[in-house]
Structure 1
Amino acid sequence: MTDTSHGGLTRRAFVTALAASGFALAVQPIAAETILTPADGLDTGTARIAVASGELPVYHARPAGRGDCPLILVVQEIFGVHEYIRDVCRRLARAGYAAIAPELYFRQGDVSQIADVQTILKDVVARVPDAQVLADLDACLAWAGTQKFADAGRAGITGFCWGGRIAWLYAAHNPRLQAAVAWYGRLEGASSANTPQQPLQLASTLTVPVLGLYGEADQGIPQDSIERMKAALAQGRSGSAFVVYPGASHAFHADYRPSYQQAAAEDGWKRLLAWFAAHGLAV
């Protein structure tokens, strides 16, 4: 029997099409469950923003023909702004937001063309300073403020894995944000010249409400780390919260990978939209 669940394509043809549609080399092969959000009814594109030592490439998406949409910054996983992250931007645009995903490794290298995860971590990610990332995100907000399609005064941030940690850090860095959603971002760890502070160290000073979406079975982020973060947050006044999904592993939202868990991913997305709407970012 022919599987026509993907727009009339057989499963084999669908997966072949996915592999050629902009996913990072390190995440091949692509799962047949991968979500592809169409761009019809949206304005999508790329831009370059002047920043220190170069021009920051960004992908952006928003509802077609609409102006002053609330803005969401979308922060990449370690694999860069590949098709999954662009699709997240389109999902947000379909929900009424202007979404911007900056290429935060552009000075250090193009990770989409590196097939080995350890090489990505050692040769690129480890060389990216937090201060550079936070400044680039500031530049994205400043650029968005010059665009008619976005209301940079109503802004939030979300990020996945590496980007989940950055979402916590940027919420601490920029108290003018309305809200943040961090998907399974690391909460604590060793400090270095490039990563001088971890989210746990900043939790008690947060004023921006952050929703943390985490998996109970995440081998890299143990439950006692989440409990320490909750305790630190309780000393502050940000109103941040956690949802921990029973049995879910790391990267449970990544529908293009074997780690995807549909129930947790769909519930997390609904919570993301509700969190933003409840904290000044209703569309």
Structure 2
Amino acid sequence: MKRDIEIKTKDGTAKAAVIQPANGAATDKGVILYMDAFGPREALYWMGQRIADAGYAVLVPDLYYRSGDYGPFNARTAFSEEGSKTRIRAMMQTATQALTAQDSAAFIEALETEGVTGAIGTVGYCMGGARAITAAAHYPERIKAAASFHGGNLASDAEDSPHRLADRIKARIYVGVAGVDNSFPPEQSARFAEAFRVAGVDHAVENYVGMAHGWAVPDHSVYDKDGSERHFKRLLTLFEETL
């Protein structure tokens, strides 16, 4: 069951969707789903419902709210059209890691308003993968699990790269890597794993051989049903064991 809400942040108002279990069961456990580059849309709400039906209140916030009205974008064509590609890239740069981390305090409060008093998990796709892990570093007392699927630049040279925050994380971390993904090449994967091993973080990095960047999201051009079902199995197991 999906309901649209508005969340007051330090910089304005973010639209969001709250998704509860379809059977109407109450839950005190929550999940924040950090969007991919194309913004909140039906595909992400469907994914949120899959998670909610396992017993969680799921929040899907709009990370682009500072950029004004837009889309949502068509995940199959947006990067092949110059206008939408340019706008998406500009909006991604505006929705920085630091600002999303700041906003995540308000996201957690929104879940608390929905009755979430227990543990919180995060999951992100594409650009959201890094943000899900970064949120775990900023709110270690509330976020107990964080997952990234085909997330990019998780261990880059950038100052805000998530691997630099490993020593602040108490959550269990799961990273599902596309078989071939230029945004998270093998050298970054190795750097990420080493940083989290040294920091003593409970983590796993799994390679989805044959999957392309975006495979888990049903409206993406490279969506793979079997691969997506595998991702749901891993994700829900992570949350069941930690939340």
2:125 is matched with: 160
Instruction: Quote the residue 1:60 is aligned against.
Output: 18
In the alignment, is the contact (CA less than 8 A) between 1:62 and 1:97 conserved in 2? yes
Identity %: 25
Is 1:172 the counterpart of 2:137? The answer is: yes
When residues 258 and 113 of structure 1 are mapped into structure 2, their CA distance, relative to the original with a 3 A threshold, is closer
The Cα of 1:113 is off from its aligned counterpart by 5.0
Q: Which residue of the partner structure matches residue 12 of structure 1?
A: none
Corresponding residue to 2:60 among 90, 101, 107: 101
What are the superposed Cα offsets for residues 54-110 of structure 1, whole Å, 9 maximum, x if unpaired? 222110111243223310000100111111111111111222211000111111133
User: Is residue 76–residue 160 contact of structure 1 (8 Å, CA) maintained in 2?
Assistant: yes
Q: Does 1:197 align with 2:163?
A: no
Tell whether 2:45 aligns with 1:45. Answer: no
Rounded to whole Å, the distance in 1 between the matches of 2:209 and 2:6 is 41
| Alpha-carbon contact 2:38-2:72 (below 8 Å) kept | no
> In structure 2, what is the Cα distance between the partners aligned to 1:152 and 1:107?
29
* 1:219–1:249 contact (8 Å) kept in structure 2: no
Could you tell me how far 1:141 is from its partner in structure 2? 1.0
Q: Deviations over 1:161-189 (max 9, x none)?
A: 00011111111111121111111212133
1:243 aligns with 2:206: yes
Number of the residue aligned with 2:171: 208
Letter in 2 for 1:218: D
Match of 1:275 in 2: 238
Amino acid at match of 2:109: A
Aligned counterparts of 1:251 and 1:59: Cα–Cα separation in 2: 21
Partner AA of 1:55 in structure 2: T
The aligned counterpart of 1:35 is none
Alignment CA distance shift 1:205-1:132 (3 Å): closer
Instruction: Classify 1:204/1:104 alpha carbon distance in 2 versus 1 (closer, same or farther; 3 Å).
Output: same
**Closer, same or farther in 2 for the Cα pair 1:172/1:130, shift >3 Å?**
same
Higher-Rg structure is 1
Report how far residue 237 of structure 1 moved. 1.9
With normalisation by structure 2, the TM-score equals: 0.88
Secondary structure of the residue aligned to 2:71 is: helix
For 1:162 and 1:171, the matched residues in 2 are separated by 15
Query: 2:155 aligns to what?
Result: 188
Gaps of 5+ in 2: none
Q: Which amino acid in 2 is paired with 1:181?
A: A
Aligned partner letter, 1:120: R
Tell whether the 8 Å contact from 2:6 to 2:15 is kept in structure 1 after alignment: yes
Pairwise CA RMSD: 1.8
Partner of 1:34: none
- CA spacing shift, 1:243–1:172, aligned 2, 3 Å: same
Specify which structure has the higher proportion of helix: 2
2:45 equivalent in structure 1: 86
Letter in 2 for 1:180: A
Report the 3-state secondary structure (helix = DSSP H, G, I; strand = E; otherwise coil) of the residue aligned with 1:45. Answer: strand
Structure 1 unmatched runs, 5+: 1-42
| One-letter code aligned to 1:178 | K
Count matched residues.
Answer: 232
Q: Which of the residues 93, 99, 116 maps onto 1:132?
A: 99
Q: Is the CA contact (8 Å cut-off) linking 1:78 and 1:125 kept in structure 2? A: yes
How far did residue 122 of structure 1 move? 3.4
The separation in 2 between residues aligned to 1:276 and 1:124, in whole angstroms, is: 30
